[in-house]
Amino acid sequence: MGKDVEGAEQGEYSAKDYQDPPPAPLIDPEELTKWSFYRALIAEFIATLLFLYITVLTVIGYKVQSSAPDADDCAGVGILGIAWAFGGMIFILVYCTAGISGGHINPAVTFGLFLARKVSLIRAVLYMVAQCLGAICGVGLVKGFQKTHYNQNGGGANELAPGYNKGVGLGAEIIGTFVLVYTVFSATDPKRSARDSHVPVLAPLPIGFAVFMVHLATIPITGTGINPARSFGAAVIYNQDKAWDDQWIFWVGPFIGAAIAAFYHQFILRAGAIKALGSFRSNA
């Protein structure tokens, strides 16, 4: 620990402490020959299935409780409880799968990491397929267990709320996903091990909190997507016109937000960190 704290004060870090891992190849056919790759796909599938199962059940349960004839204003978990369900499940599932697949559980996160050359194109595409299939199966389980309540209460599908235009919904998804993906980059930045190792950070915790906070802000607008697999899986099983009409918002918005976050972190913040390090050494 001496170097972790004192080195930061005395300028004793070497260049290797600040080196990033090499970028992932754009196309890596070798991945297709490794069991670890297929294990990661299974992890992404199961994690997204569990994520949709628990969160959509929470949404349906809240609507059932709050619409009961004798329900009061405090019936059900409310928006706060729904936000906790989404954020808490992401915290749990990222914690469980980070060492196997990286714990993406979201095509927008995968897309952002691909743009930053953290994963190959093959891995990114197959992760997204696994995530979407997992989401469909997760929502399918909800409908299978509670078909009547599911059909009567919107199926947990993301739709633009009345009173908001598509531009507002798109903006909410862009900014919300930017917050999430920016948090992912910051929480998993390899330079933290050298620069901030005296400040322990459990990466899934800030990621889960980012999901929680974004849900608080955007549930009233779009129901909060920020995860194309979540929106797609719910739309496939619910299969109503409104969910499909708004579906593009929940793909275009998150992908734009993820791209902006990747650019901001990789080319602005990280470039700034390199300049600051050079200045620090020249003054040491």
Separation between Cα atoms, residue 86 and residue 66, nearest integer Å: 19
Q: Is the pLDDT of residue 234 over 80?
A: yes
| pLDDT value of residue 14 | 46
* Residue 106 phi, psi dihedral angles, 5° rounding: -165, 120
The residue that leads in pLDDT, 67 or 245, is 245
Query: Under DSSP, is residue 109 helix (H, G, I), strand (E, B) or coil?
Result: helix
Average pLDDT (162-191) is: 94
Surface-to-core class of residue 270, CB atoms within 10 Å of its CB (0-12 exposed, 13-18 middle, 19+ buried) = middle
CATH fold for the domain made of 30-67+75-268: Glycerol uptake facilitator protein (1.20.1080)
Query: Under DSSP, is residue 135 helix (H, G, I), strand (E, B) or coil?
Result: helix
Q: Residue 3: which pLDDT band, with cuts at 50, 70 and 90?
A: very low
Tokens 């595409």 sit on residue: 125
Separation between Cα atoms, residue 101 and residue 176, nearest integer Å: 23
| pLDDT value of residue 145 | 93
124-127 contacts, C-beta under 8 A, 24 or more apart: 126/41, 127/40, 127/41, 127/44, 127/101
Q: Residue 179: which pLDDT band, with cuts at 50, 70 and 90?
A: very high
Task: Give the Å distances, CA to CA, from 83 to 56, 212, 234, 278.
Answer: 11, 5, 17, 42
Task: Give the Å distances, CA to CA, from 226 to 62, 86, 102, 165, 249.
Answer: 21, 11, 18, 18, 10
Please answer whether residues 236 and 52 qualify as being in contact, where contact means their C-beta atoms are separated by less than 8 angstroms: no
CB neighbours of 14 closer than 8 A, spacing ≥ 6?
A: none
Q: Residue 274: which pLDDT band, with cuts at 50, 70 and 90?
A: low
Can you state the angle between helices 204-222 and 78-97, rounded to 10 degrees?
A: 140
The residue that leads in pLDDT, 256 or 9, is 256
Give this prediction's pTM: 0.86
Please answer whether residues 54 and 137 qualify as being in contact, where contact means their C-beta atoms are separated by less than 8 angstroms: no
Separation between Cα atoms, residue 139 and residue 146, nearest integer Å: 11
The residue that leads in pLDDT, 153 or 202, is 153
Q: Is the pLDDT of residue 25 over 90?
A: no
| pLDDT value of residue 196 | 56
The residue that leads in pLDDT, 274 or 140, is 140
Structure-token pair, residue 74:
């405090």
| pLDDT value of residue 245 | 94
Q: Where are the domains of the chain?
A: 30-67+75-268
| pLDDT value of residue 195 | 56
| pLDDT value of residue 197 | 52
Q: Is the pLDDT of residue 93 over 80?
A: yes
